[in-house]
Chain A
Amino acid sequence: MNDEVILLDYWASPYGMRVKIALDEKGVDYECQAENLQNKSPLLLKSNPIHKTIPVLVHNGKPICESLIIVSYIDEVWHDKSPLLPSDPHQKSQALFWADYIDKKIYDVGRKVLWEKGEDQEMAKKESMEGMKKLEGELGNKRYFGGENLGFVDVALVPFTCWFYSIETRGNFSIEAECPKISSWAKRCVAERESIAKTLQDPHKLYDYYVKLNP
Chain B
Amino acid sequence: MAGSEVELLDFWASLFGMRVRIALAEKGVQYDYKEENLTNKSQLLLEMNPVHKKIPVLIHYGKPICESNIIVQYIDEVWQNKYPPLLPSDPYLKAQARFWADFVDKIYDAGRRILNTKGEEMEKAKTEFIDGLKVLEGQLGEKPYLTGESFGYADIAMVPLYCRFYALEMIGKMNIEKEYPKLIAWVKRCMERESVSKSLPDPHKVYEFLLERQKKIR
Q: Contact residues of A with B, CB < 8 Å?
A: 50, 59, 62, 64-66, 69-70, 72-73, 76-77, 89-90, 92-93, 96-97, 100-101, 134
Contacts and interface: CB of A to CB of B under 8 A. Distances in A.
A100 B99 CA distance: 14
B51 A90 contact: no
Nearest to A62: B92
B70 A64 contact: no
A70 B60 CA distance: 28
A72 B96 CA distance: 12
B51 A93 contact: no
A64 B95 contact: yes
A19 B99 CA distance: 16
Given A50-B103, A66-B102, A89-B78, A97 B67 contact: yes
Nearest to A48: B99
8 contacts: A64-B99, A66-B102, A69-B95, A69-B98, A73-B95, A96-B67, A96-B70, A97-B65
A59 B92 contact: yes
Nearest to A98: B51
Contact of B91 (A76, A97, A101): A76
B91 A73 contact: yes
A44 to B, nearest CB: 15
B63 interface: yes
Contacts of B92: 59, 62, 64, 73
Given A50-B135, A89-B77, A96-B70, A72 B103 contact: no
A100 B92 CA distance: 20
B70 A100 contact: yes
A73 to B, nearest CB: 5
A98 B101 CA distance: 18
B94 A93 contact: no
The A interface is mostly helix, strand or loop, or mixed, namely: helix
Contacts of A97: 65-67, 70
B82 to A, nearest CB: 14
Contact of A93 (B74, B95, B99): B74
Nearest to B50: A134
B59 to A, nearest CB: 11
B70 A93 contact: yes
Interface of B: 51, 60, 63, 65-67, 70-71, 73-74, 77-78, 91-92, 94-95, 98-99, 102-103, 135
Given A59-B92, A89-B77, A69 B102 contact: yes
A70 B92 CA distance: 10
B73 A134 contact: no
Contact of A69 (B65, B66, B78, B99): B99
A58 to B, nearest CB: 11
Nearest to B139: A50
Contact of B73 (A73, A96, A101): A96
A155 B158 CA distance: 29
A134 B53 CA distance: 14
Contacts of B91: 73, 76-77
A27 to B, nearest CB: 18
Nearest to A60: B92
B65 A90 contact: yes
A73 B96 CA distance: 10
A198 to B, nearest CB: 26
Contacts of A76: 91, 94
A93 B70 CA distance: 6
B51 A134 contact: yes
Given A66-B102, A73-B92, A101 B77 contact: no
Contacts of B95: 64, 69-70, 72-73
A89 B74 contact: yes
Which of A64, A93, A96, A134 lies at the interface centre, i.e. has the most chain B CB atoms within 10 A of its CB? A93
Contacts of A66: 98-99, 102
A96 B135 CA distance: 26
